[in-house]
Chain A
């Protein structure tokens, strides 16, 4: 009964005054997968989510959720999705538990079923201790977990999370990621927007990159990285050697760059296949001693930069952590 694609957007456009927020966006999210919608602030991510969650109507194009049209069958869409978005918040003057029960009641679960489900979720999201405190006093991480719990009250088959970790400290982000992974292992279809490359890389099965209201790239995290063709060779020498550049240059695609201390060399490469062996042989033949050879696959950061021409974070000063702060994290996760 469930359609193959639980979320579909085709040709979505939306204009707010002079701003073309969406200029024709297409993507699909197959059942049981996570789509990461990646883009800088103002790229149109939130607008796309608002249309798909029935909060805004598109000027043209069509969206479906669980097979239902988001404009003509909005009531059906609302029955099968859960939404946690920064601009659609819970009630700060209610306690965590009251918020969950209210969302459950308004989702027509019935009061007793809502209470029971709220208890389960408060425990599952590690909020039992704070359950009867007013939400205004929650930390950012607790608030987001409560938001996520609220969006799963009815066990929806489709979830929309709009920037679920923006503004969180690193520890809270890691916890959010764990919770999100757990949800998806239960078979939920998830659309997640984010400005964080590492987040999309870690969580998403597929990524679409949106900029200026258009999809400018899509694919798996791996495909996107390969498409950017910016793999680099990095060589560390035991001590500076004059012949090193000459020995490496025939093996690489770009110009060989040398660090100030003369020990670190790097260059763009076309293919990593067999390259390490060739590099060692060439340097050994020139009598140069090598400490380390690394072939660095492009990070999504590089991809993003090459696609949008701007760093993803330069619009948002509130970011607690940038990919640049953790230069090695991507390699570890995406291997």
Chain B
């Protein structure tokens, strides 16, 4: 099977409009989550990209009036990734788009309601950059972003494409915010993944993109070496009490990567900070014998960015490998799950080679992908 690598990457978030700015903010323990008074019926913590900053950045490459907020975020991210990539768009280049809710705000804003259809959003992105293939859209709840990396890898390994650009994005909307509120899942403080004092999620805006190829000349390349995406077959909105689907996804990824659990250097967990999710993850990581591996959730920096989160957090993980840094799991104070976990309490330097990124979502979906730093 062909080796598949992640090369260029860009994060667009309140912490910055490129990956380096984001990672440097994380190193300083800065969070994008702040209190907002105008996004809900009552004040609410969320991580939101400032409209004016976004428009200022976007106006350098396009007309900010004709694109939705999410489209601007995704296009800005892709623009940077495409400009960094070692390949250019050909008729064997895939465009893979991951989003949980897309332009859902178009159901109730000044844009045409048709804009809420994901293929319409995908077409805007395709046209902007002149992609030659039909966009591949993945909308698989909160695993969309990480699943998109697995899908790209699988398509490249099976020769359907030579390379791919993958972009994921979601925004804080009244739609998703009110929905999570109706579940009483929104935290009254910035979210605290895995903490005893956690009371729910914070949500956030983000777009992230990567270039994926079978051909890299990078001296220190990041290879995607295993993946799995299994269902709990248990409940449509509640995580499995045994962590079944996540456990199976991790085992599938480890098996493909031909790695033992102890060879993983770092876990980038999903860690939404709801009571049930974090407990479920702790159970799955223990079942997979990963409980001693340093782990963080990046939700304390970004909130839950839905379909973007897996992609965004994979990029931060890639920078962890490149910088040999384990970043603090922001919001963690006292461990609040019933099984042991090795949560990263302080940002520390450590030689890193491999990490696993996991995510879980409504519909009982779970995904795990393993990345490895290879010298060539």
Chain A bound to chain B: no
Q: Which residues of B contact A (CB under 8 A)?
A: none
Q: Which residues of A contact B (CB under 8 A)?
A: none
